């Protein structure tokens, strides 16, 4: 049974320039213990999708459609009190920038304790002991000192570990990580990635990891979903995605990423810019930047083509490029589907 099932999720924000269609008919499922990476450029809808799972978008000027089924309960149909009960105990989030996510006027210890008092009903003494245990869990070298420190008094890596401790405080089943290593240097980034992967395996967490770094996805994820223009354009097991990308946008991301053996060869950037989400084109949103564009790409939204078991791509070119694929042939006759 799926822990999380997202079905035809759409999110629009009302602005003075018109409705910003940030997420458009996004669907995916997540099993207990599975790690899914959401990949794509900034503005592709990754973080908006993540916040929709928690129901964090303010109702004013925001219209959310579709279903977000978390343990069988639709987050979009719950009142705020019921959503609060899900947050922390069932699902929690590690935000992108810990310096802005943490409250600067409270110590790290007070902020961890507040989570435990609110969601677990512990008294202050028990919450303090549990906060110390959590900092040990995320491998903070001087936990007592960290508990007594304010966010500005500790390093970026320690702040991120404190954020992870807060997210794990109520023992959630699903952890949402919104580019948790973006603001860190390379060495600390590697430490945080190793920590997240170790915690995921030891605690049996399901994780959705948002990143624009393909190397990070390859390191931590079981499956990957590539987003562009608010839509998932390709989804596959991460090894399959790197072995045989089926969408030109995925190929473009790979060519623009530093790889082993890259020395002496220039990176190939994707030309152009991401689409205007206020005025998305009628066809494929990537068509203006695609080196293989055909007339149908500009006119018709591509359907989902199944390339292999568990591997799907929304591209008009897939039938011709993967004509020998048994899964694609099955899909064409109506018998295929993503597993």
pLDDT digits (tens, 9 = 90+) for 237-269: 999 999 999 999 999 998 888 777 667 777 788
Span 8-20, average pLDDT: 93
- Return the DSSP state at 152: G
pLDDT digits (tens, 9 = 90+) for 102-157: 999 999 999 999 989 988 889 999 999 999 999 999 989 999 999 999 999 998 88
Q: Which pLDDT score, from 0 to 100, does residue 219 have?
A: 84
Q: Name the token pair of 48.
A: 């908006």
- Measured CA to CA, the distance from residue 92 to residue 54 in angstroms comes to 8
pTM of model > 0.85: yes
Query: Would you say residue 338 has pLDDT above 60?
Result: no
- Measured CA to CA, the distance from residue 155 to residue 280 in angstroms comes to 41
Q: Which pLDDT score, from 0 to 100, does residue 334 have?
A: 42
Whether 237 contacts 37, CB under 8 Å? no
pLDDT, averaged across the chain: 88
First and final C-alpha spacing in the chain: 13
Question: Which DSSP string corresponds to 119-140?
Answer: HH---HHHHHHHHHHHHHHTT-
Beta bridge partners of 210: 38, 178
Name the nearest CA neighbour of 327 among 218, 211, 246.
Answer: 246
- 2 φ, ψ (degrees, to nearest 5): -75, 140
Radius of gyration of the chain (CA): 21
Tell me the domain boundaries of the chain: 4-227, 230-332
pLDDT digits (tens, 9 = 90+) for 20-53: 999 999 999 999 999 999 999 988 999 999 999 9
pLDDT digits (tens, 9 = 90+) for 276-318: 999 999 999 999 999 999 999 999 999 999 998 899 999 999 9
Query: Would you say residue 192 has pLDDT above 90?
Result: no
Q: Name the token pair of 17.
A: 């320039």
Q: Give CA angle at 149 (103, 170), nearest 5°.
A: 60
Q: Which CATH class is domain 4-227?
A: alpha beta
């Amino acid at each position: 049974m799926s822990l999380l099932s997202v079905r035809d999720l759409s999110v629009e924000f009302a602005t003075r320039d018109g409705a910003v269609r940030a997420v458009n008919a996004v669907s995916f499922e997540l099993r207990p213990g599975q790690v899914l990476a959401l990949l794509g450029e900034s503005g592709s809808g990754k973080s908006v999708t993540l916040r929709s799972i928690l129901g964090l978008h303010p109702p004013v000027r925001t219209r959310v459609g579709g279903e977000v089924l978390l343990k069988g309960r639709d987050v979009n149909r719950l009142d705020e009190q019921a959503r609060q009960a899900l947050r922390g105990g069932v699902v929690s989030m590690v935000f992108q920038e810990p310096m802005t996510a943490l409250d600067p006027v409270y110590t790290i210890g007070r902020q961890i304790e507040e989570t435990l008092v609110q969601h677990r009903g512990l008294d202050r003494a028990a919450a303090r002991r549990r906060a110390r245990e959590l900092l040990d869990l995320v491998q903070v070298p001087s936990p007592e000192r960290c508990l007594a420190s304010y966010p500005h008094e500790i390093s970026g890596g320690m702040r991120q570990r404190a954020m992870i401790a807060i997210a794990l405080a109520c023992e959630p089943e699903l952890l949402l990580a919104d580019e948790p290593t973006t603001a860190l240097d390379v060495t600390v980034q590697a430490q945080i990635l190793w920590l997240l992967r170790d915690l995921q395996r030891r605690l049996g967490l399901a994780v959705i990891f948002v990143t624009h770094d393909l190397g990070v996805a390859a390191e931590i994820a079981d499956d990957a979903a590539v987003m562009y223009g608010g839509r998932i354009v390709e989804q596959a097991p991460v090894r399959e995605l790197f072995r045989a990308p089926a969408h030109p946008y995925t190929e473009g991301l790979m060519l623009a990423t530093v790889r082993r053996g890259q020395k002496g060869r220039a990176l190939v950037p994707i030309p152009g810019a991401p689409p205007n989400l206020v005025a998305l084109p009628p066809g494929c949103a990537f068509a203006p930047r695609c080196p293989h564009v055909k007339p149908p790409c500009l006119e018709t939204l591509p359907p989902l083509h199944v390339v292999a078991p568990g591997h799907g791509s929304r591209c008009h070119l897939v039938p011709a490029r993967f004509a020998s694929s048994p899964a694609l042939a099955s899909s064409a006759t109506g018998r295929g589907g993503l597993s």
